[in-house]
Structure 1
């Protein structure tokens, strides 16, 4: 009896492969295909439309008629400002874009789209201001503060595009990659630092001071320049007006300190660059001479752990080493007002004065 049972089980086991083969043949479809790579991913504009934190950027895409382009073949890297990035600029709802010129919006969106698929790992570690082409034909500057030399075990991996922090890296879409940034990148095409300041009345007192002390015309030259610009209300809080500046005697006051202290010549600094150099070179601050003067400019930065916002403080100092006079200076605590890119440099709003006239006596 036992022998018969073993023989029966053996015959059943021999039949199983044949049964499975018959089953597979019965299920065969000539048109069955393997799922293609990226087939289940959404295209760029479709992904943005369906992401809650990108609704304001999608509203701009719609207004500019760019949805079909961003759903195109690519490959693209779309640098998507989050909703909070637009809110910093006072844009809080989709209808706010209705007040804007659609061609200007189109240019802004094109400048947020790279003409290649750029992963975080593609960017040189500790690279500063690496340039990449955009759909607008312009360039963006990428900086990756990876780690302090000799301490690669704990990388910072802070990535920036035109001074905007990447807060969400390498989001896959069907036609490329999305990198989410915490600020709208600001660039004024075919302009200089001088053009940028002249077209904004809120900086007119600062402009008056630059003109008074012969510092204005240089801002229309090749540069590059990094300028820290106080608005009119900052001067007015100290009872300083355009008229009072025009009344200053250039033989008595040092214009290089009073207004030249706001200009870093021959340097192209996003605020984030100073933070990058702090990480990769252990440089706690930018320190440099005021052009044509013995005093120093000192700029240091702070990166917020939660928001990735980079803010800065700036002051003037007499000798670089102690003993020295260290003036209180001012700060740039509004990231939305920094990193205004032009063709010959950058302008950063600063919410205070570096020196008062009485401190700039020769």
Structure 2
């Protein structure tokens, strides 16, 4: 092999080796922080400045170990702003030890077993002719629909929450950021 052909072969091999990294979609930033698909839901969430209330609630409910586990889980993660939409004092009341069961009930209503990407949810919506029922870890259903090209969830009380950031891949599932707390 000539010197030129050897260089070309090395360059081609390097490009082929790098191709999967170049074609793999990058996770979106959440709360100004990089989200790493090699980290767990909890490991990534603690770095998001937009999810400090959610992290505090997950800690108060004793769900850190569960959401750090193998999963996989699909988490609809409310932002700090979503929690401010609740009546004044609600979050402070929910994180008290005596309200752990209620808090756990609300938080697990934001979790669906398995890894449900927006593509998977979209396929379920199409199959359901416009809506899909997602059964949460808490046991009650969420209804998913598309509105104006955006994924919208309707909770058991009829409230709606829009997915604002989709498909944040984790080592143990996927996070979709939502703009409103879902209520069982």
- Quote the residue 2:176 is aligned against: 348
Contact 2:95/2:103 (CA < 8 Å) preserved in 1? no
Contact 1:210/1:216 (CA < 8 Å) preserved in 2? yes
- Quote the residue 1:212 is aligned against: 60
CA gap 1:296/1:250 in 2 versus in 1, 3 angstroms:
same
Which of 109, 122, 125 in structure 2 is aligned with 1:278? 125
**How far apart, CA to CA, are the structure 2 residues paired with 1:201 and 1:218?**
22
Could you say what the CA RMSD is over the residues aligned between the two structures, in angstroms?
Answer: 3.3
Q: What is the TM-score with the length of structure 1 in the denominator?
A: 0.40
Question: How far is 1:350 from its partner?
Answer: 0.9
Q: Which runs of 5+ in 1 are unaligned?
A: 1-70, 77-109, 116-134, 141-161, 163-183, 317-326
- Quote the residue 1:221 is aligned against: 69
**How far apart, CA to CA, are the structure 2 residues paired with 1:279 and 1:226?**
19
- Quote the residue 1:16 is aligned against: none
**How far apart, CA to CA, are the structure 1 residues paired with 2:143 and 2:53?**
23
CA gap 1:242/1:279 in 2 versus in 1, 3 angstroms:
closer
Question: Bigger relative contact order, structure 1 or 2, given CA contacts below 8 A and separation 6+?
Answer: 2
Count of aligned pairs: 166
Question: How far is 1:74 from its partner?
Answer: 9.8
Contact 1:271/1:310 (CA < 8 Å) preserved in 2? no
- Quote the residue 2:84 is aligned against: 236
Q: What is the TM-score with the length of structure 2 in the denominator?
A: 0.72
Alignment partner of 1:136: what SS? Answer: helix
**How far apart, CA to CA, are the structure 2 residues paired with 1:188 and 1:303?**
29
Q: Which runs of 5+ in 2 are unaligned?
A: 1-10, 29-34
Alignment partner of 1:201: what SS? Answer: coil
Contact 1:193/1:220 (CA < 8 Å) preserved in 2? yes
CA gap 1:268/1:224 in 2 versus in 1, 3 angstroms:
same
Question: How far is 1:284 from its partner?
Answer: 2.8
Contact 2:69/2:172 (CA < 8 Å) preserved in 1? yes
- Quote the residue 2:105 is aligned against: 257
